[in-house]
Amino acid sequence: MSLLGEEAGPSGRLHPFDLLRWYLDVGVDECIGELAIDRYSVPPPVPRPVAAAVPASPSSSSPRRAVVGREADGAGASGTATQIAAACTSLTELHRALEAFEGLPLKQAATSTVFADGSAQPRLMCIGEAPGHEEDRQGVPFIGASGKLLDRMLKSIGLDRSEVYITNVVPWRPPANRKPTQDEVAVCLPFVIRHIELVDPPLLLLLGGAAASALLARSEGINRLRGQWFEVGSPGLQRPVPTLATFHPAYLLRTPEAKREAWRDLLLLSKKL
Ligand code: URA
């Protein structure tokens, strides 16, 4: 018998030996959690994209692979995000499909659908979180203060913005620049995956935790995900794309001491380029 949270014994604090005796008395031979969890009050988990992340052993030099799927979905009048995205055969069609998509209320509050900027045959594809005020106003991603820093980061490894393709996980600005919720990201994910398939970039750079956890299908924060190579694969890609996550430029503007680690990430990228 195993001890799950809701079976976790009498209330109140017990001496560990008393607790152990009580567990043995009730026939428990395996302890799974220390704290009682009221599973009836825990909200059901948000549907997450299907992912098969293959962990590499710490000594292995092979990257971890995430195969991103399209299970979490938003339904609009003309179908689910997955169906709509899968039907797009070009970037122009994908752009139009996002402009017409009605499955996410965020869009109503936004001025623009901020699709992408840069070269359609890029040396690198960068994916951020969601547009800010200036991006929403001009309809171009990474054009405000964090965009200026992104341009300088790319320059520091010899990349001009015109050689790079830049987009976001969520193409509509969340009100008051709040973080997009996991549900909002999940609704947009089929479009982002199709976006990657259509650009088919040689390398991916994920800017910040929202892009990293969505596209690597991992629950860890950006501190853990940055600085190591992953591979992002999907059924529509001929081969998995080597992918690196790093801090979001907006975070670096607020936390200049993190620039040292971001610089290390850029060096990793530079080597691969
Ligand atoms: N932050 C982002 O994540 N994307 C933008 O386009 C601008 C700011």
Domain residue ranges of the chain, discontinuous segments joined by + = 67-272
Q: Which CATH number fits domain 67-272: 3.90.550.10, 3.30.470.30, 3.40.470.10, 3.40.50.620?
A: 3.40.470.10
- Decide: 62 and 56 in contact? Cβ < 8 Å: yes
Query: How large is the average pLDDT for residues 182-196?
Result: 97
At residue 76, the pLDDT reads: 57
Give the pLDDT score at 13.
Answer: 38
Task: Decide: 190 in ligand 1 pocket, CB within 6 A.
Answer: no
* Residue-level pLDDT at 67: 60
Q: Is 135 in the pocket of ligand 1 (CB under 6 A)?
A: yes
Least confident of 58-67, 133-142, 216-225: 58-67
129 lines ligand 1 (CB under 6 A): yes
Question: Which amino acid does the sequence have at 216?
Answer: L
CA of 132 to the centre of ligand 1 (A): 6
Task: Indicate whether residue 130 lines ligand 1 (CB < 6 A).
Answer: yes
pLDDT at 62: 57
Query: Once rounded to an integer, what is the mean pLDDT over residues 116-135?
Result: 97
Which pLDDT does position 100 carry in this prediction?
95
Per the prediction, the chain carries an average pLDDT of: 80
* Residue 198 CA to ligand 1 centre (angstroms): 21
Confidence of residue 73 (pLDDT cuts 50, 70, 90): low
29 burial via Cβ count (<10 Å: 0-12, 13-18, 19+)? exposed
Q: How far apart are the first and last CA of the chain?
A: 54
